[in-house]
Amino acid sequence: MRLPLIAGNWKMHGTIRESVDLAKALRTALENFEGPEVLVAPPYLALAGTRRVFEGTKIKLGAQDMHWEPKGAFTGEVSSTMLKDVGVTHVIIGHSERRHIIGESNDLINKKVRAAIAAALTPILCVGELLEERNMKVTKEVVERQTTKALEGVSPADASSVVMAYEPVWAIGTGLTATPFVAQETHHFIRNVLSRVVGAGVAENMRILYGGSVKADNAKELMGQPDVDGLLVGGASLDAAAFNKIARYKES
């Protein structure tokens, strides 16, 4: 059985003080929580402070990106070694904003996935189509290409540690959300792609998260789909009360 994962991506929001305050509010809200696995990915500068707040809890710490080299002359970059040193266990790779705003390629994302695995960090590998690609009815081609390219050179054993995340770009920060039917259809397709790439047994146990304007009022319905194994939450994760409700979707 796949353990659900609710992950909050704080993106480029919050000073260190604001991030610590949010972490404290989240710790209080999730005290004695026995539901799904919970993870938050604060900005880099807030990782140390939030880690201290979460000590002694089950809340895991993620990073929003990483470089593929463990160290070197890469000005402005952050390595897996640095992330592990501050207590990070998961790292988001290939987020749509990295792909379409920063310009990261599938080959670059593949380097990062393999580097994360080598460093014993859990990659949260994001795939998803633009609005024009969905309108052109090439969603399946896009997510298949992104998935297969990102996992090139990754053994089935190593792939078992990867968490997938489907985030339709047209639904991120727009208020639009893929219907549960659309999410399930695409997640099921991604699992079939994974079956071909890493084997059916591994694919069946890999978690696939949905991300795209997730809110407390749609979390339960999304999580009711058989191939939706968790949620990658953006804006709503900046509100401790809202994120708490999402994490407690079973109680609604």
Q: Which residues are catalytic?
A: 95, 167
Q: From CA 132, how far away is CA 206, in angstroms rounded?
A: 29
User: Cβ–Cβ contacts within 10 Å for residue 178, how many?
Assistant: 24
Residue 241, token pair as written in the block: 């009360």
Q: How many CB atoms lie within 10 A of CB 236?
A: 18
DSSP annotation string for 143-196: HHHHHHHHTTT--HHHHTTPEEEE--GGGSSSS----HHHHHHHHHHHHHHHHH
Distance of alpha carbon 122 from alpha carbon 183, whole angstroms: 23
What tokens does 69 get?
């080299």
